Structure 1
Amino acid sequence: MVRYKSKMVERIHLPAREERERNLADAGYNVFNLDARDVFVDLLTDSGTGTMTDSQWAALMRGDEAYAGSRSFEELESAVADVMGFEHVVPAHQGRGAENVLYSALLDSGDVALNNTHFDTTRAHVANQGADAVDCPVDEAHDPDADADFKGNFSVEKAREYVDEHGADSVPVVILTITNNSAAGQPVSVENTRRAANFADEIDATFVLDACRFAENAYFVTEREDEYADATVAAVAREQLSYADAIVMSGKKDGLVNIGGFVATDDDALYEQTKQLGILYEGFPTYGGMAGRDVAAMAVGLREAVEPGYTEDRVGQVQALGEALAARGIPVFEPIGGHAVYLEANAFLPHLDREEFPGQSLVCELYREGGVRAVELGELAFPAADRPELVRMAVPRRTYHREHVEHVVDTVAAVHDRRDDVTGLEIVDEPEMAEIRHFTAELQPVE
């Protein structure tokens, strides 16, 4: 277990309850619209919100800001090769920029992308290409009571049924998201990764790993998959990624930085195609929309993510939060995920129908009660989807301390004590693209 000491601190402020009430109303009961200064403990996302190490800050200061041929890009290439095993790297400003580059290369109108579970931006990028996003989760993926170590797995059986019915020609890409963010942050086994890769090969599809939490997933493998009980996180990560034809990466998660991402592959043709798209959408191939200093910090972060003890400490903090909530009688999705604790909004607020957005109602109550910001992953984020109403509390890496965790637990418990008084919400304004409506939609309490 690693330990850290603080070299810099930031003062945070808990607004008075009356002010929090006004902030919610002004934000249209959508916590994305809150000012960060009005949030006490921010668990909206773990993406780009973590704390960098002194080694990363040193790399930041040494960053090479050359437009072309940057030394910082050479450091990133080396880190990707050593840690992840890929020769070619196409940088992007963040994960969704990398998704845009990769899926613009792989998908056309009328195509289908199969995934264990598409997350919101992935689903939106698939839709933006005129393609359909089809989820193939295992049966236990959305069952909090199921006893399974790898609820994030890809159901090869469901995928094969789809192909048998619709044909393989329409499926040019198979995606595996590790960990499975839309399925309560549950991990994917290496054995399942092999099976998914073999299936993709059978139907002549490109096999893509969404690897933004690859190190956390590898940690779960060492803990739960017997074949890897004596393996290191670094060795598991390298093997699991080796089954992919390409990976798409948000460096804001297991890259341990505040901005950045990339596509990586050993396929020369795909590399050339994505490199040209990267120039079009992101910038020259040796900076890809990032400052050189951010590229350098990400190169260090990738190496730190697989160092002994890091993932144990990281996942351990999340587990401690989940276990503390469960001990207070709070319905949490189990097993607890690697980057977040997911509350079961259906069980928390059983008196609210799905059309009243129980997940979003719970999110608003957490802010109202204790200035805690979480995110809804239910009907608002995934309209008309067959999945449970979840509220994700994503823990930023190396940022919060024990007293913050205790405040979150007390806040959730206080809302749970008065849960019968929580009212539902209704949408009053939303964007045209349903896949991303939860970012900007405005709501109001149901009369």
Structure 2
Amino acid sequence: MKSIESIRLTSAQERGVALSAAGYNVGMLPADLVYIDLYTDSGTSAMSDRQWAAMMLGDESYAGSRSFYRFEAAVRDYYGYEHVIPAHQGRAAENMLSRCLIRPGHHVPGNMYFTTTRQHQELNGGIFHDIIIDEAHDPDADLPFKGNVDLAKLERLIGKVGAEQIPYVSLAATVNMAGGQPISMANLAEVRELTRRRGIPVMLDAARAVENAWFIKQREPGWNGRSVADILQAMCALTDGATMSAKKDSFANIGGWLAVRDPALAEQARNLVVVYEGLHTYGGMAGRDLEATAQGIEESVQEDSIRTRVQQVAYLAGRIAAAGVPIVRPVGGHAVFLNATAFLPGIPHEQFPAQTLTCALYLDAGIRSTERGAVSAGRDPVTGENRYPPLELVRLTIPRRTYTQSHMDVVAESIIRLYGQREKLRSGVAFAYEPETLRFFQSRFRPLSGEPLFG
């Protein structure tokens, strides 16, 4: 380590006051009051010495920066797409793609939703359809590729609405909301063949595609002898384009891109990026961040790098699973997901057990995690009713190259301790304030007991 960052362990009293002031939403806490921050791995990873050095070479020219051309070459070399449009982060790329392709009444199938992806699809008039295999909704189903598409579901949807009403198939690799589950190369090829026959594009959420490539190398027959870089290229070759948050696999603190093969779609996206992000050669990113992302792309496919990353996640999962704590299996590459329904069986889904558990974890040890359940799922846009997905999870997202094994031990001990005291949590939380979109970020809650949680 060439640099360190100080963190402070707060007292239980401080955490209680802070959580109450934040409306029992850990996302509203000041970072200074968080001891170990597992809220997200997006933009929170530690950059390498070569990334910091690359930032010093950043060309901040408004148009045609040399940093853009290095960035563009890195995306082309490692992901294989010809046309590259930079954006300030992944959801900006999702916005451009949705505005370009989705019209009111369109149907967008995908291997489970992700919050921002579905939000952009719905805001542009699309209707999302979950076509992931049924086992992905079972936290205990221990299958190697729970991110796979159910081809029969996809074919039924095409038959029902018509291929012309499906602007693209939206594929995540890995599937965040299912617990970081990968899609297999064989399944991706089957999806590609079906959509090619029906004239439907396939668009990839590539934020953690390097992790997906690693799991293919480890779990899928015939790929063990191939490099992660080769597997990543093969995955992308089966798709027509991708959105990317460079804040994940590429170790960047900010940045992303939309990349496509169709030159007409690329030109449409460039026109949008000029309106919403910046010129098509910087797209809301500083030249120094374009340089850091380009370097991060090169480092992301290094075998030792991805192996270490996945093994750290597996270490935390192994410790808490050995104590009987219910988690999603198999363990993904970026996070450990606690099964909040099994962890807190006495709290009904309308009292948001996953949200409640994120609060309890912060109160116990100052650890910030993320709710991935009914709060994240939002409301049905037609009925206005809460969606209650089968998976009610708490995500412990591990930033890359940031925390040591000792930090993971602190997290494991807190979770094990909470699990042993779970009977103390008999009631959950209710909304005190609820925004219209992506409510999990800024909602505020109140304990239904009328007293502080674990009070």
Question: In the alignment, which residue of structure 2 is the partner of 1:372?
Answer: 367
Question: In the alignment, which residue of structure 2 is the partner of 1:443?
Answer: 445
Alignment of 1:248-267 (within 5 A): 248-267=243-262
Secondary structure, counterpart of 2:165 in structure 1: coil
Counterpart-to-counterpart distance in 1, 2:262 and 2:389: 36
Question: In the alignment, which residue of structure 1 is the partner of 2:436?
Answer: 432
Equivalent of residue 18 in structure 1, options 13, 23, 35: 13
The percentage of counterpart residues that share the same residue type is: 44
Question: In the alignment, which residue of structure 1 is the partner of 2:420?
Answer: 417
Say if 2:284 is the partner of 1:289: yes
Counterpart-to-counterpart distance in 1, 2:151 and 2:432: 40
Counterpart-to-counterpart distance in 1, 2:37 and 2:326: 21
TM-score by length of 2: 0.95
AA partner of residue 205 (structure 1) = I
Question: In the alignment, which residue of structure 2 is the partner of 1:211?
Answer: 206
AA partner of residue 382 (structure 1) = A
User: Could you tell me whether the CA contact under 8 Å between 2:148 and 2:187 is conserved in 1?
Assistant: yes
Equivalent of residue 72 in structure 2, options 77, 80, 87: 77
Secondary structure, counterpart of 1:443 in structure 2: strand
Question: In the alignment, which residue of structure 2 is the partner of 1:161?
Answer: 156
Alpha-carbon distance, 1:115 to partner: 0.6
Say if 2:48 is the partner of 1:45: no
C-alpha deviations, 1:27-51, integer Å up to 9, x for none?
1111110000000000000010000
Question: In the alignment, which residue of structure 1 is the partner of 2:357?
Answer: 362
User: Could you tell me whether the CA contact under 8 Å between 1:151 and 1:186 is conserved in 2?
Assistant: yes
Secondary structure, counterpart of 1:439 in structure 2: helix
Secondary structure, counterpart of 1:227 in structure 2: coil
Shift of the 165–266 alpha-carbon distance from structure 1 to 2, 3 Å rule, reads closer
Secondary structure, counterpart of 1:248 in structure 2: strand
Alpha-carbon distance, 1:443 to partner: 0.6
Alpha-carbon distance, 1:16 to partner: 0.6
Question: In the alignment, which residue of structure 1 is the partner of 2:403?
Answer: 400
Alpha-carbon distance, 1:204 to partner: 1.8
Alpha-carbon distance, 1:165 to partner: 2.1
AA partner of residue 93 (structure 2) = A
User: Could you tell me whether the CA contact under 8 Å between 2:374 and 2:389 is conserved in 1?
Assistant: no
Question: In the alignment, which residue of structure 2 is the partner of 1:231?
Answer: 226
User: Could you tell me whether the CA contact under 8 Å between 1:255 and 1:298 is conserved in 2?
Assistant: yes
Say if 2:313 is the partner of 1:318: yes
Secondary structure, counterpart of 2:19 in structure 1: helix
Question: In the alignment, which residue of structure 1 is the partner of 2:333?
Answer: 338
AA partner of residue 443 (structure 1) = F
Say if 2:312 is the partner of 1:309: no
Equivalent of residue 149 in structure 1, options 144, 153, 163: 144
Secondary structure, counterpart of 2:52 in structure 1: helix
Counterpart-to-counterpart distance in 1, 2:124 and 2:448: 36
Counterpart-to-counterpart distance in 2, 1:389 and 1:316: 25
Equivalent of residue 269 in structure 1, options 264, 270, 278: 264
Alpha-carbon distance, 1:68 to partner: 0.5
AA partner of residue 392 (structure 1) = R
Ranges in structure 1 where 5+ consecutive residues have no aligned partner: 1-5
Segments of 4+ moved more than 6 angstroms: none
Alpha-carbon distance, 1:365 to partner: 0.3
Counterpart-to-counterpart distance in 2, 1:60 and 1:217: 28
Question: In the alignment, which residue of structure 1 is the partner of 2:181?
Answer: 186
Counterpart-to-counterpart distance in 1, 2:416 and 2:348: 22
Alpha-carbon distance, 1:166 to partner: 2.4
User: Could you tell me whether the CA contact under 8 Å between 2:357 and 2:394 is conserved in 1?
Assistant: yes
Equivalent of residue 99 in structure 2, options 97, 101, 104: 104
C-alpha deviations, 1:49-73, integer Å up to 9, x for none?
0000001000011111000010101
C-alpha deviations, 1:115-158, integer Å up to 9, x for none?
10120000110011011111111011021222310001122211
AA partner of residue 56 (structure 2) = M
AA partner of residue 428 (structure 1) = A
Question: In the alignment, which residue of structure 2 is the partner of 1:3?
Answer: none
AA partner of residue 75 (structure 2) = V
User: Could you tell me whether the CA contact under 8 Å between 1:172 and 1:204 is conserved in 2?
Assistant: no
Counterpart-to-counterpart distance in 2, 1:154 and 1:279: 35
Secondary structure, counterpart of 1:309 in structure 2: helix
Counterpart-to-counterpart distance in 2, 1:127 and 1:377: 19
Equivalent of residue 114 in structure 2, options 109, 116, 119: 119
Counterpart-to-counterpart distance in 2, 1:178 and 1:253: 12
Alpha-carbon distance, 1:312 to partner: 0.5
User: Could you tell me whether the CA contact under 8 Å between 1:376 and 1:390 is conserved in 2?
Assistant: yes
Counterpart-to-counterpart distance in 2, 1:363 and 1:402: 21
User: Could you tell me whether the CA contact under 8 Å between 2:349 and 2:388 is conserved in 1?
Assistant: no
Counterpart-to-counterpart distance in 1, 2:94 and 2:139: 30
TM-score by length of 1: 0.97
Alpha-carbon distance, 1:203 to partner: 2.6
Question: In the alignment, which residue of structure 2 is the partner of 1:66?
Answer: 61
Secondary structure, counterpart of 1:149 in structure 2: coil
C-alpha deviations, 1:388-413, integer Å up to 9, x for none?
11110000000000110010001111
Secondary structure, counterpart of 1:79 in structure 2: helix
Ranges in structure 2 where 5+ consecutive residues have no aligned partner: 379-386, 450-455
Secondary structure, counterpart of 1:380 in structure 2: helix
Alpha-carbon distance, 1:202 to partner: 2.7
User: Could you tell me whether the CA contact under 8 Å between 2:87 and 2:283 is conserved in 1?
Assistant: yes
User: Could you tell me whether the CA contact under 8 Å between 2:178 and 2:391 is conserved in 1?
Assistant: no
